[in-house]
Amino acid sequence: MAGREDDGERLRVDRWLWVVRVFKTRSLAARAVGLGQVEVNGQRVKAGRQLKVGDLVRVKKSGQAEQVLCVRAFAGARLSFAAAQALYEETPESVAERARFGEQKRLDALSAPKRELAGAPSTRDRRQTRALKEAHFFSDSEGER
């Protein structure tokens, strides 16, 4: 069949992103390409764009650091994570940026206040709130007689 995707020389960008496990599903990869979150050699592309060895693929996922991958090879089917890593090479700048971003997220999580489960306040919480309000009210008004 002419124009097969897995002929070993070229592969659609959405399928390659799925095969190398950048995205969990091919439809998520196609959606990201359609939203402009994927660039090939510095240009926005469509999902059907054929990749070739040596192309630089830039992936921007929301809430994550940007990933820059250099295409090294193709595969016809989705591979294990270890095998998929042989199909691309991440640039050193991208690796450093993702490490910095991960460390920043970790530090942000440590410094963020602990959130309790949502819901109505307990009786104890209401009493403490009332006591604080009363203490504040009396200290601001005529408490110094």
Higher pLDDT: 13 or 109? It is 13
Question: What's 37's domain CATH number?
Answer: 3.10.290.10
Tens-place pLDDT, residues 98-133: 999 999 988 888 887 776 666 788 899 899 999 988
What is the total count of domains within the chain?
1
Burial degree of 61 (CB within 10 A; 0-12, 13-18, 19+): middle
- Does residue 29 fall inside a structural domain? yes
- Does residue 100 fall inside a structural domain? yes
DSSP per residue, 1-69: -TT-TTSSS-EEHHHHHHHTTSSSSHHHHHHHHHTT-EEETTEE--TTPEE-TT-EEEE--TTS--EEE
- Does residue 117 fall inside a structural domain? no
- Does residue 128 fall inside a structural domain? no
pTM attached to this predicted model: 0.68
- The per-residue pLDDT for 93 is 94
- Does residue 20 fall inside a structural domain? yes
- Does residue 130 fall inside a structural domain? no
- Does residue 44 fall inside a structural domain? yes
- Does residue 119 fall inside a structural domain? no
Give me the domain span that covers residue 32. 11-111
In the chain, pLDDT over 70 holds for what percent of residues? 86
